[in-house]
Chain A
């Protein structure tokens, strides 16, 4: 069974469109994250949710809006996509108080 899954794996879209990426974890973890990885492999945290509540919201344009319908899901919606949004987006989860994070396979977003 996949511990942390993301859909879609690839997303190609035009500038100005709105898109969503879905994430689900079946590990029973309380905390979920979204990361952005650029072409140089730098990993930047975007959001962290603990039990459906937003905990960390790094400096991210408000075009990005996370939504957590329950503690097993954390979706990322992006409005008015820009060229600079092209990256690989990773979802991750962890148990509260435990530092180890489990990552999904990533979603490669390409904005044309």
Chain B
């Protein structure tokens, strides 16, 4: 079946540091890929997405590129802020199966 593996947390960074959260996937066909963010006490919300190979999703300074050859969708941000402290989930959607698969989440804490 489909699976998503993301970097284990927690991750702690200082403000303005560079962020990378690794995500790799296994899936049949050509899934769409997503990053969701969950702020404390809230539900998940879509951060960015990419629907085909080499697409780059971006939002709020975050970026991720759909790499089919390495089956990866790593999340990056050049300069994190305290307000970026949250749990980040990598996910894929298998259109054929009509099913989404989420990674285990990575908790990010940014300190001033």
Contact = CB atoms under 8 A, between A and B. Distances in A.
A6 to B, nearest CB: 8
Given A42-B104, A42-B105, 5 more contacts: A31-B98, A43-B102, A50-B98, A105-B42, A105-B43
B95 A97 contact: yes
B32 A106 contact: no
25 contacts: A40-B104, A41-B38, A41-B87, A41-B104, A42-B105, A43-B89, A43-B104, A43-B105, A45-B100, A55-B98, A56-B99, A90-B43, A97-B95, A99-B32, A99-B51, A99-B92, A99-B100, A100-B49, A100-B93, A101-B44, A101-B100, A103-B36, A103-B44, A104-B43, A105-B42
Nearest to B95: A97
Main secondary structure of the interface of B (DSSP, over half): strand
Interface size class on chain B is 20 to 34
Interface string A16-57: 000000000000000100000000111101001010000110
Interface of A: 4, 31, 40-43, 45, 48, 50, 55-56, 90, 92, 94, 96-106
